[in-house]
Every structure is written in C-alpha cells, then in structure tokens.
Structure 1
Amino acid sequence: MTRLMIRPLLAIACALSTWGACAANDDINQHSTDMLGFSSGNAAKQQGLEQRFDAQLDPADQRIWLKQMSSQPNQVGSPHDKANAEFMLAKFREWGWDAHIETFDVLYPTPKKVALELLGPQPFTAALKEPAIAGDATSNIQDGALPPYNVYGADGDVTAELVYANYGMPDDYKDLARRGIDVRGKIVLTRYGGGWRGLKPKLAQQHGAIGCLIYSDPHDDGYAKGDVYPKGGWRPADGVQRGSVADMQVYPGDPLTPGIGSVPGAKRLAIKDATSLLKIPVLPISYADATPLLQSLSGPVAPANWRGSLPITYHVGPSTAKVHMTVESNWGQKPVYDVIAKIRGSTAPDQWIVRGNHHDGWVFGAWDPLAGNVALMAEAKAIGALVKQGWRPQRTLVYASWDGEEPGLLGSTEWAETHAKELQAKAVTYVNSDTNGRGFLGAGGSHSLQHLVNQVADGVTDPETKVSVRERLRAHMLIAGNDDDAKPEAKDIAKIAAQGGDVPLAALGSGSDFSAFLEHLGIASLDLGFGDEDDNAGIYHSQYDSFDHYVRFGDPTFEYGVALSKVVGHIVLRSADADVVPMRFGDFSTTLNQYVDELHKLVENTRKATEQQHKLLDAHAFTLDADPTRPVAPPERDSDVPTIDLAPLDQAAKQLTQSAQAFEAAYGKRAAAGFDLPPKQALELSTHMARMEQMLTDPHGLPTRPWFKHMIYAPGMLTGYGVKTLPGVREALEARRWDEANQYAAITAKVIDGYRQQLDQLTDLLNSQK
C-alpha cells in the first residue's frame, strides 16, 4: 500500500501554511545555535563525526544489496522475504549491532483464483498477468510470484453490467447521479489516481456496487507521461498496479487485532467483524485488459475530465454486455519478519531514536521499498564502523526493517502496538523512509523537527548540482511558482522561498510506516526520500519494479541513495548526541496558527459557495444550462452553513504562541551558555521534550476511528494517504457535519491547551536552573 514518494511540490501543497512558520520563527529564534541542540564545542565535534560517517558510505554497497534483495519475489510469506530478513540480521550483527527478528502472525489473504471476462456477442477474457520484457532479467520469473490482485478485498463470483466511475471518488458518484446512472447491483470500473486505491472499492460498495475493477489509464502513468518500459520508464500496456484496499483510514495493521499486537494469545476478531475489510471483490487490471471493457460501455459520453488517453470514446455505461469477475482467496495467516537492531546509548539509554524502512514488496520491489531499505542498511554499516572506532551514541539507536508494509503497515503497526508503553516512555523520534529515487528531497513530519531537517539538508550536497539539497529544493520551488500555469499556492510558495529561511515540512497523512508512531502513539516522526526526476511511478507495485528498471530509470549511480543515507544518518546522529533533543516548538506553534486560519477560510469559502449554489438552483440555472438532448440534473441542494464556533481554537493557538516565545527565550539563554545543565537535569529536559508530541493526542481518537489519536495530523477518510490537518474539525466541515465541527473545535483546543501547559513546564525547568 506504499504511498508514492512525497514529491516536494505535493508536499508543499499539503503544508503551504508552514511557510509562514519559517519566516516567523526566524525572528523568534535568532538565538539558535549553529547546530540545534548542541553547544558550540559539541557542534564542532558532531561535524567531525558526521564527516567520518559520510566517509563510510559506498554506493557500490547499495547496488549489491539491492540486486540481491530484489532477485526473487519478495511479498509477505514468500521464501525470499524471509531470506532477506535473515540476510539483514546477519549484516546488522556483522556490523556490531544487537539484532534479532521479531515475528508476528497476521491475516494475509492470497489469491487461489482470479478471473475476469466480458460476456455477450464480443466476449473477452482478461489476461490478468504481466508478460516478460526484454532486458528485464527478473520479469520472466513466475515461480513464487502472486498474480496481480488487491489484498483485503472480499471473495466473490459476480456477474453484472459495468459502469465507469472515473477515479471513483465522491464527486464522481454525484456526477453519475446527475446523469441518471445508478451503480446498485453493478460492477464499477475506476481508474487509478485521484485518490487512494482503497477508497475506490469502498465508495463503490457504499453506493451498492457488487464488484470493483481498478485499471491504470495511460493518461496517469503510461504513454501519455513518457516512453513505456523498456524504451522508457513508464507503465506498459500490460502493467498492473497491485495494492491493499483495506480501510486503513479506520485502522492499519492486522485487520483482526486492531490496537493490540498480533502476538500469541492476542484476542482476534472474526473475519466477518473486521471493519477494515471490504465486502465486495476487487481486481486491479492493466489498460490492455481495460480497453475492451471500456469499449463495451454505452450511455452518455463521459465528462471531459473523466477521459483518459486511450484511443476510444469514453462512456459512463452501463455496458452492452455483462462482466463476470471471480476472486477466491486463501484466508490464512502468514508470518511477518521485523528485523530490529539496537546500539545502547551510553548516557541516556532510555531515550530511543528509532529509524525504519520496510523490506517487503509486491513482487521484486527494487524501488518500492528496497531503494530506501538499502540506504538504511548503509547507515547501519557506517554507524557500526563508528562504534568500532570507539564512538558511542548518547541515546539508544533502534534500526528496524519492517515486513508487511505493503498489505497494510503490518510489521510496523504490530511492533508499535506490542511495545506501545515502552515506546511512549522512551522514543524521542521516529525517522522513516520508503522509496527513493533521483531528484529533490521530499520531507514530511512533525513540525517541531522542521529546523533540524533544514539544518541537515543545508549540509548535504546534491549529487547533480553540487549545491545543498535544501537550496536545490528552494530553486525548484521558485521555478515552479513562476510558471505561467502555476497554481496560486505555488506562486505564494515561490514568493516566500525567495526570502530564504527554512523550507517547510509536509504534514504527514499515511501510506508508510510512520503512521503507528505518529498518529497512534504520538511520537514525533519524519518521512524522507528523494524523487521527482526518476521515472519509477509507471511501474509502481508491478512486476516491472525490478533491479534492471531501477538502474536505468531510478538512481543509476546510487548517488541519491548515498544522499538519503547522509540526510537520515545526520538526523539520527544529531538526535542521538545533542545536548538536548533537537526540537523547535515555535515552528509547530506558528504552523498551527496557519492551520487555524485555513479553517476560517474554509468556513468562509463554504458559506459563499453554498449561497451561490442556492442562488443558481433557485434561478433554475442548472436546468436552463443543460443540453436537453444530453440531460444532466441539477446537483442536490447543499445544507445551509450555520455559525461555526472556532473561538476555542483561536484562543488556544494564541496562547500557545505566547508560550512558545517564552520557551524559545529561555532555551536561547541556555544555548548561549552552552547548555550548562547538570546531567540529571539535561536528561529530564530532553525526556519531557521528547514527550511533547504525545500531548497532541486524545485518548478517544478521531470520530469513528479511535485508533487515530493525533488531533493535528491524520490521513483523510476520503483522501487515503493525503493528510488532513486539524482533522476532527476540517473533515466535519468538509462533510457538512456542523455540530461535529463545533464539538471537535473544542476538543482540539483542549488538546492544544494541554500541549501549551507542558511547554510552560519546560520553560519553568529551563528558567529554574542556575
């Protein structure tokens, strides 16, 4: 289920408001040391340590490991998945780490039979497989590889008419309804893109469909984007995107053990009671297989923005002939193998810096996830060399290579749930990566870590341009924002990018292994990787995500693999050895102010749009505008927007700004004095700082999904991977649940007040030291 790498500009669009935080906190934090959290003397030592770390990084290592680990099918339950875990275990131990494999047995259905056929006068049977490609050495391996399928869809044998629903998002069903198209009792055909894949069958199911097909249109990741594989990197006609369709916006991890570790003796739900499982069958198909199905559709011509790049006329349906689809699965448990390695801290062993990347793929998984995993391994090897040279981290390092991420964040979630109390007591930061390619740094995470990421990124050289990766990203923002077709938010970003200062972190939604740490346990987290210039998106979750593809269209020299190891490695090393943990809470405070301001704008814009819609409906404008020969009904009348009380959030954010300024002033005095705290008090300060993120959680969680406890960041119920900030309020507003919006404005304000009170205690702790 891995999300595509956070692209820099997409990341910025998710967190536009953080630009304000950058500028404001440059004023608040004039006192910042050259290296956040370090005295000047220790900062110089740290720079020397990082240079020694960098000297250990060899791109040849990453190339060798990637080739070996992607040489056979690597999905959960495969022999090679286990072999890769054992290979890494041996390597960690060779490099001096205390390592073990932690195993969890999880529900993991695999297909026994998948079939799809078009009936009627022009019958067609879908291939549902990916043929070998010349020049790709692993593409002809069939033994041990699973056919294309969507895990956690239901079993079923259904026959029905077909309806095309574009991307299968909520507005698409509204458009179908306006055209008189009902999907009840039908099979829905959607295309990938426009939203997370799991929402497509979920919404189809909610609208009464009995099956769902998801195809890859060349408009989104095929020949419309560039030459297809093997000439170029993009998706060929028979390429299929596999993936999970579990309802992970409710909870990720083993569907049968929500909120608890999937360990022996754990109480498991019956499959019928697992709310993250679908009730209808789902299949992913290629655009080669989708073309005859699309050609069978009658009914209205699809709206302009529904049309892909196939050389056909797109209709919405229903089809002139019925479609028969079959999904039959083995609903058993499979083991997932988490590789856990530790180096105990010398002075603060109960403060943990946790670093993770997953190692399971859908087939071979060279780009997703092994390109990121071998960067993690390179970091571990270099850190092991430093330890053998006599260095020891102040805080404990925990390196983890997760299994089972693709089906639903299984390995990381089960491990985090199993060790929840210990992690909440000890974990300072979780640092994640996943895919990695060539180009610009993508960075998302907790905004208290924003300045740390910027300082590190400013000290790592981009392999292609030889400037810092931060400055290359800044230039990218400036160019994108000055394009004639740039969206307003991109133009705003370009203006602020020109002012210098920190570049923003994206707010995190979901789609990778940070979710359990950040959104369930409240541990400050980061997600990092390079991309935007590689051509890997076209082979996402397909058999063609191979070593041969990666060394042509990913990161051929593995220089960006080394760059990722440097960025993440420096963050890990600084977090491990800083005099006090390197967090800057003023960045979060100002970002929060922007999020609250966005809610005010959302209310205002929703009210204006509602009033305008009502005027158009009352004037019968939609009816008069419609083509009588192609009837489209008016939209349903939106509910009136009542008074929305955001005053509790306004007050909480205002008070937090004052507290953040007071903390920064006290922190600045201590930094100027070289963090002259007695060791016991420095340890206490760092311990409390590390737990600040937990203060942003609420034990009751979000509406209808209590697993997600973070009140500032969450994946959207209707966005999947995409983030919703202040989600309890924002999603209620977007869904026009007005009472719920008012309720969660008060709940979220209370959470922010608790965060502020903890920050005030930190300020008192700083000021009380002599």
Structure 2
Amino acid sequence: MTLTAQYRPYRDEETLDGVENSDLSWPDHEVGTIQIYEKTTEDIPFASNRRLLMGVVMLSVLTILTGFLIGYFAHSTHSECVPNLAMSLHSVRDENPTIRAKIMREINPISIRSVVKEFSREPHMAGSANDLRLAIQVKDFLNAHHFDKTELKNYSVLLSVPDSHESNYIEIIDQSINKTIHTSIGTDKKGSDSGSVIFVNFGQLADYQILSTVYNITRDTIAGKILIAKQFHLTADEQMSFAYQMGAAALLLYPDPEHYNSPNLKVKPFPDSPYMPADAVRHDSLIWNGLGDPQTPGYPATSYAHRLPLQSLNLPNIPVQPISYLNALQILSRLDGSKAPGAWNVGSNTTYYLGPGFRNEGNSNITLRLKISNQLVNKTIYNVIGSIRGKVEPDRYVIVGNHRDAWFNGAIDSAAGTAAFLELSRVFGDLLVEGWRPRRSLLFCSWGAEEFNLIGSTEWIEENLKILHGRAVAYINSDIIVIGNGSLSVAASPLLYHAIFNATKEVLNPNDEEEAKTVYEKWLISLPHMRNTSGMISVKRNAFDSSFDLDEDLFSINQHFNTGEPNESGSLLKTYMESAVLQTRPKVRPLDMRSSYAPFFTMAGIPALDITYTNVNAVNEDSNPINSMSYPLLHTKYDTFEVIDKFIDPTFRVHKAVTQVLGEIIRDISDSLFIPFNLLDYAQVLRDLYVTLHIHTETILNNNGINIGLLDSAITNFTLAAVRFHSKQDKLDFTDPMAIRRVNDQLMLIERTFLDPNGLPRNMMKRHIILSPSETDPPYDEMFPGLMDEFSILLQQSGNTSTKHWTWDVIRAHFSIIVSTIETAAHAISDVI
C-alpha cells in the first residue's frame, strides 16, 4: 500500500478525531506551516480474505469521501467543515463565479451620494476635530459591516497650520503717504518680507530663461524680490524651489483665468458652473518629497519615535502665499517694466507687465508687504485599518486605500473617493454574512494627512514595511474617482494592466446613450494608445532549447493579429501574449508622486493603481487628469457637494461605474486562484523604455563607454523568462496546492525585484528604478527615471567639464544597476531550484 502526500496549509495538529467537540478556529500562522506525511513503497502482505475485507473498507471510504465532496461543493457555507480538509479543498479551488454579479448588483449610487454629502458637509483638515470625527465614523462603519478587525492608528506628525491669533496678509502700500492701497488675507508658510515684485509666468526654468535672455531680468535682478506666478504646470513646491534657486525673497501664487475660467468660454463661474470664481484661493502643500512626516524620515512617527530638530529639516526656504486672481490683479495691473510676452497674457483682459517694482502713481512710492504667520506644530493624525481575513491565503494582503482629509470640504478630493471606499467595504463585508470569503485577505485603509506630503499612507508603510514586503499583493487607490463624465483615466503598474482591462470590460458605460457599451470601449475610443510594431516584444523559437515544450502557435501571434483570426486555445500564455502586443490599447498613465499610492510602489515595490473618470479633452492636453483645467475648483473652498450634484454627476451613475470597476479589480486580485498578473505587460513596458532610450541616447552612450546592447539583452531575457513562466503556469498540476502557492509567490514578489536599496541617483527614497517618477522635468519622452534625470542635468550644464565627468560616472553606475536589476527579475520568475 502507498500513502500519498497530504497538504495541511495552516495547522499541524488537527485530526479528524473528536471533530464534534473540537474548536475549529485556530490562530494565525506564518506561511510555511505545512505538514507532509512520508511516502512509503513497502508492500504489505495480507491474507486473501483480509484483502477482500480491505477492498470493502476502501470502497466504503471512497464512497463516503465522494459523498462528502458532493455535499461540500453543494453548499456555500463551510464554517463548520473540518479545517484540514476544507482548507485543502479551497487551496486548489478557483473563485466563485457568482460573486462578480453580486458585487456589481449591490453597488448603490444612492448610498454613494449620501456618503459624499455627509463627508463634505464641513471642512476637515488633517489633525482637526472634524477629521477625527470622520475617522471614528469610518471605523464604526467597518465594524457595522462585519469586518474581522478594525483599528484606529494614530501618528504624531509635523504640520504647518494657520496661527489662530495672527492672520496672514499682503498689502500694497504707498510709502510716500504711508497708506494701504490693498489688503488680502490668506495662509501658507511662515515669514514676512516687503519689496518690489516681478511677474515670472509659471515660474518654470524656461520662463526664467526668457526673462534673462530677452528682458535682461537675470538672477541678480531677481535676488531679494517678491515673485508672482500662475498656479499651473508645476506644483507649488516645485515653483517655490525654482524661486529659491533664483534668489527670490518670497513667492505669490495665483490661479490665472487662462486655466481656471478662460474668458473664451464665456461662462459664469461657480455657483453657475464648475469654473473658478475670481475670489477663489487654491491651497497646496509646500512639503512634497515623498518622505511623509518631515521629522521622522524613513521611520513611523510613533509616540516613541526619535524626531529630528526643526533646524535640521529641509523645509520650505522662502515665504510662499497663495492668493486669488482678484488680489493678483491688484498687483499685476500696477507692475512697471516691460510688457509681458503675449503668451503670458492669454487669460486676462488686463495687460500684464513684468516689473520689477510698481509704476509710480504721481509722486507715490508703492511697495508690497507680505506677512505669513503659520506655525509648525505636532498634530495627531489618524488612519483607519479594517481587515477581512482571507480563507486560503490569509497572509497575502490586497490593500484598498483612500485619503480622508481635505483642505476644506473636499467633495471631489476626496469625499467621493471615501464614498466608493465605504460602499465597497459594505458590499464585501456583507458578503461575509452569506458565507463567502476572499481567497486572500483584504485591508481597507482610510488615510489621514494625505494633503500634507502623503503622511498617512507613508507612516503606515514605514511601520509595516518588513511585513508588507512578504505579504502585500497590490494596492488599489480610491481618492479622486470622478472629476468629469468623459472617460476613465488610469495610472498603474504594468502588472495590474490585465486586471484593469478585464474589469472595465465588465462594467457598462455610465453614459448609456453613447455607442460604446462598456467602460473599456469608451476608454479605448477616448484615450487610445497606438504602438509601433517594431517596438513590440517578440518571441522566436530559436530562443528556446529543444527540451522546452512550447505551443508552436505562440510564434505566429503577430501574424494572427494581421489576419484577425480568433484565439481558440484559451491558454493563459496566449491570452497574456495577445493582450500585451495589441497595437491599440487604452492609454495607461505612469504613476506619479501626488497621491496616497506613491509610497507603495516607490518605497515598497507593491503594484499600485489609481483610476479617475475625467473630462477627455483635459487628459489629452495634459498627462495628469487631476489638473486645474479638468477640475478648476480642486483644493479651494468651492469643492463642495453642490458641484458634484449639480454639474459633475447628478445621478451618481459615473460614481457607481467607477466603484464597480474598483470592486471587480479587488475581487479578481483577492479571489482568483492565480494572482492575475501578466508579466508580458511588464516586458512590453521595459521594451518601450528601452526604445525611447535607444532613440535619444544610443550614440552618446556608445561614445561614453556604455553598451546599450546589454540592456537590450537583459530585457529579452526577462521576456523569455516571462513566456516560460506563463507557459509552465498553463501546464501546472492544479491539484497541487504547493505548486499554486509557489507560482503566486513568484508573481507577488516580482515587483520587489525592481527595487534598489540605494534608490535613484537624485533621491534615495525612490527605490523603484523602473516606475519611480523622474526628479527633473526633462525634454525626453518616458525612459528610465534615473537616466532621465542625469541626461536632463547634462543638458543644463554648459562648459562645466568637471561636473559633466561626474554626471557620466553616475550614468555608467546607474546603467549597470538597471541591467543587473532586470536580469535579477528574469531569474526571479525562472524555475525554482
């Protein structure tokens, strides 16, 4: 008789004896708590009558087991099943196909509308009493909907907040008679200054170059002056950084009508439209370095954390004040000097001048006085963490996140995201009552202080980084989910493309009067991404040795697309390859550093995604849909429920559709037998980055001792490894729980292989050397961010040969790291030794 190996995933001690009186629940165990019984091939002799008896016994056991299996799969609730057998059965069983329809059906736009209205009723800045009230409300909601565990996690962090005793203001003063001509009140970084003013358009490097070369307003002219710039293209922290580098004493920022309510539109502003009124002030954080709490970089801001002294911190260097267009016009209309270039004066009926200084009105002497009284204080901020324990792989986490805080009422940013977050938590929580559990654990995380440097999510990652490294599967973001009703816009890791495309094909187009039937079809029509066939990944049979058994049809995929023949095999490899090499697919944006998802992929190497329904024209004009043109009232006091209810999505059917897409993605990643990651999508992204690098820099790289062919070879090796991986996945023994676990572990950890502990050359905290956003604003298309930064710096250097030599040393070193990292990723998905 031969005893077969048995698999016990999460407990070593249970037996079938005493089932009725045993406690069938058990504590968490780390991965690998597995017991394998020994095999024996020793023949055991029996007498003939005993053989007959044994046959009867075995037949009886087989009959009982068959009946048990039929009964087991005939009912949906297994809470009273024997743990050993129940877990073994579930570990090789795919997801319940009926759950998708239940999730789609249960998502309710009326519920979403109600939460948006409630969570945007009052301002709730991070660290405020209102924000704490909403955090407790989220926790109570998760508890009420059957979550296994909830936690209110707090951190003590450094925030810049208004001084309650002293207002901030700017004044235009006629010093000759000591009379105030104009006063405005606002809030931002602490400091004070007075002097003449220079208009610098957007405050970009290109603007400063125009001022210097055309108008002779050089760095020497700018030094010690107050600059005024439009809020657009650059973020506030970037504008401040450039102004400081130019020697400015202070910076004023304002929303110009060109981007927030152009006269060409001829529309009345809010409350008659979603366009910005002239008295609106837009607020943005000046500390935005991806490090979370400024005093505890790299470590969580717990009560016992060591905090750096304020004087050692890299805080904003000059006073910066956001003002309204009305207040800016009081300044711009009085400036002296040359007339501004025509392109700088598109959105106003007033002629802009550059300065420096004001025109003399009679014999008066006019100047500007700026006083900002903000305080840097430690405030307590709150994250809410709720969990649904996975049935088969409880130590694998699919994380759903949303930031809760806002500058003001924050209906779009981000009460709407909170509404989708809570609606999904309600739906998934209520499914537990019906007996369903996802294969993997779900973590629902409501972040605090996102508007202040992504503090909430960053501190949580810093506290749990070592745990997340081995357990986190993916992060799904639900922040600004709707800013228009045109089309979906997505930013994501390549590993998540497949799940996103599939989910959007399952959800109906919320604009049902349009020809496009699904969210995917509308996305494809609105934002198509056309690719050149010469840059697509390809696989040739001679790349494999004769021992590798691969379907011949794989190598005619390109021909298949040219002929339009359908794929009838249904194999995973073919499906993944066909998707990866589609010549036209919906455009997926690169991930950036401007929302809660950033530390997940840049620091922890966790695949992340962010989706927003937006206005199509705005996305076509700017790579980031969350800009002023797409939603002018962002970060102002006018971001209210009324805007959504009256102008953006009155029926909340767009909110429903986005929430359904999120729900299907969450279900797919948390409950599929195999984690639905298409490695060939990653191979294609690597190839795209290589093609851009090759086009722009091949000659200059070769002339400086860098063999770009090494990178080409590494990407080819990764592509071949991905094909092998998915081919073997097709042929896997689906009754082997350990084989399924091994494949899922390789898929889960692949994103981590693209991390480098030293980070990018210009930012060691950006450790993902493929997906991390660049540190500079280079003229190139997308390519590897570390190289992008260095080439941008090379272009900015003129005759400084010593600095150029240093930069080429950095490029050589980082190029070798990229090649090594991609080769390591190829090994990570190869056969396990």
TM bracket, shorter-chain basis: 0.7 to 0.9
* 1:272-287 map, 5 Å: 272-275=311-314, 277-287=315-325
- 1:487 maps to what in 2? none
Amino acid at match of 1:301: K
Q: Does 1:205 align with 2:205?
A: no
Contact 2:127-2:449 within 8 A present in 1 as well: no
Q: Does 1:699 align with 2:768?
A: no
- 2:674 maps to what in 1? 580
Query: Over residues 492-545 of structure 1, what are the superposed CA-to-partner deviations in whole Å (9 max), with x where a residue is unaligned?
Result: xxx999976642422112100111110011111111121116986111100000
Tell me, which stretches of 5 or more residues in structure 2 are unaligned?
1-89, 359-365, 531-561, 563-578, 619-628, 795-802
Cα pair distance change 1:394/1:748, threshold 3 Å: farther
Cα pair distance change 1:676/1:175, threshold 3 Å: same
* Candidates 680, 687, 691, aligned match of 1:597: 691
* 1:111-510 map, 5 Å: 111-112=162-163, 113-120=167-174, 123-128=180-185, 148-150=186-188, 153=189, 155-178=190-213, 179-181=215-217, 182-224=221-263, 226-248=267-289, 251-275=290-314, 277-320=315-358, 321-437=366-482, 438-464=485-511, 465=514, 467-477=517-527, 502-510=585-593
Bigger relative contact order, structure 1 or 2, given CA contacts below 8 A and separation 6+?
1
Contact 1:54-1:566 within 8 A present in 2 as well: yes
Name the SS for the 1:512 alignment partner: coil
Displacement of 1:753 after TM fit? 3.1
* Candidates 717, 722, 725, aligned match of 1:658: 717
Contact 1:149-1:243 within 8 A present in 2 as well: no
* 1:551-570 map, 5 Å: 551-570=645-664
1:591 and 1:743 map into 2 onto residues whose CA distance is 24
Cα pair distance change 1:419/1:498, threshold 3 Å: closer
Query: Over residues 212-251 of structure 1, what are the superposed CA-to-partner deviations in whole Å (9 max), with x where a residue is unaligned?
Result: 0000000011244554111111000001111101142xx3
Name the SS for the 1:268 alignment partner: coil
Amino acid at match of 1:726: F
Name the SS for the 2:280 alignment partner: coil
Query: Over residues 699-740 of structure 1, what are the superposed CA-to-partner deviations in whole Å (9 max), with x where a residue is unaligned?
Result: 1112242111111122333459x9964111011101217543
* Candidates 531, 541, 545, aligned match of 2:635: 541
Displacement of 1:95 after TM fit? 0.6
Cα pair distance change 1:232/1:162, threshold 3 Å: same
Contact 1:726-1:748 within 8 A present in 2 as well: no
Cα pair distance change 1:443/1:42, threshold 3 Å: farther
- 1:717 maps to what in 2? 775
2:822 and 2:583 map into 1 onto residues whose CA distance is 29
1:366 and 1:675 map into 2 onto residues whose CA distance is 50
Displacement of 1:569 after TM fit? 1.2
Cα pair distance change 1:759/1:497, threshold 3 Å: closer
Displacement of 1:191 after TM fit? 0.3
Q: Does 1:757 align with 2:824?
A: yes
Name the SS for the 2:143 alignment partner: helix
Contact 1:227-1:233 within 8 A present in 2 as well: no
2:469 and 2:581 map into 1 onto residues whose CA distance is 39
Name the SS for the 1:106 alignment partner: strand
TM value normalised by structure 2 = 0.74
2:729 and 2:582 map into 1 onto residues whose CA distance is 29
Amino acid at match of 1:706: M
* 1:721-736 map, 5 Å: 725-736=783-794
Name the SS for the 1:509 alignment partner: coil
1:114 and 1:203 map into 2 onto residues whose CA distance is 23
Displacement of 1:653 after TM fit? 3.8
User: Alpha carbon RMSD of aligned pairs, Å?
Assistant: 2.8
- 1:23 maps to what in 2? none
TM value normalised by structure 1 = 0.80
Name the SS for the 1:713 alignment partner: coil
Tell me, which stretches of 5 or more residues in structure 1 are unaligned?
1-38, 129-147, 482-494, 608-640
Task: Pick the structure with greater CA Rg.
Answer: 2
Q: Does 1:100 align with 2:151?
A: yes
Cα pair distance change 1:127/1:536, threshold 3 Å: farther
1:748 and 1:697 map into 2 onto residues whose CA distance is 14
- 2:87 maps to what in 1? none
Cα pair distance change 1:245/1:127, threshold 3 Å: same
Contact 1:70-1:547 within 8 A present in 2 as well: yes
- 1:88 maps to what in 2? 138
Q: Does 1:521 align with 2:604?
A: yes
Displacement of 1:330 after TM fit? 2.2
Contact 1:191-1:215 within 8 A present in 2 as well: yes
Name the SS for the 2:451 alignment partner: helix
Cα pair distance change 1:598/1:262, threshold 3 Å: same
Name the SS for the 2:717 alignment partner: helix
Amino acid at match of 2:450: E
Name the SS for the 2:228 alignment partner: strand
1:582 and 1:679 map into 2 onto residues whose CA distance is 17
Name the SS for the 2:207 alignment partner: helix
Query: Over residues 406-453 of structure 1, what are the superposed CA-to-partner deviations in whole Å (9 max), with x where a residue is unaligned?
Result: 111010011111111111111011111211223311111111221221
Name the SS for the 1:398 alignment partner: strand
2:822 and 2:425 map into 1 onto residues whose CA distance is 34
Name the SS for the 1:753 alignment partner: helix
- 2:726 maps to what in 1? 667
Cα pair distance change 1:742/1:555, threshold 3 Å: farther
Contact 2:253-2:323 within 8 A present in 1 as well: yes
Cα pair distance change 1:497/1:503, threshold 3 Å: farther
Cα pair distance change 1:756/1:71, threshold 3 Å: same
Name the SS for the 1:405 alignment partner: coil
* Count of residue pairs brought into register by the alignment: 651
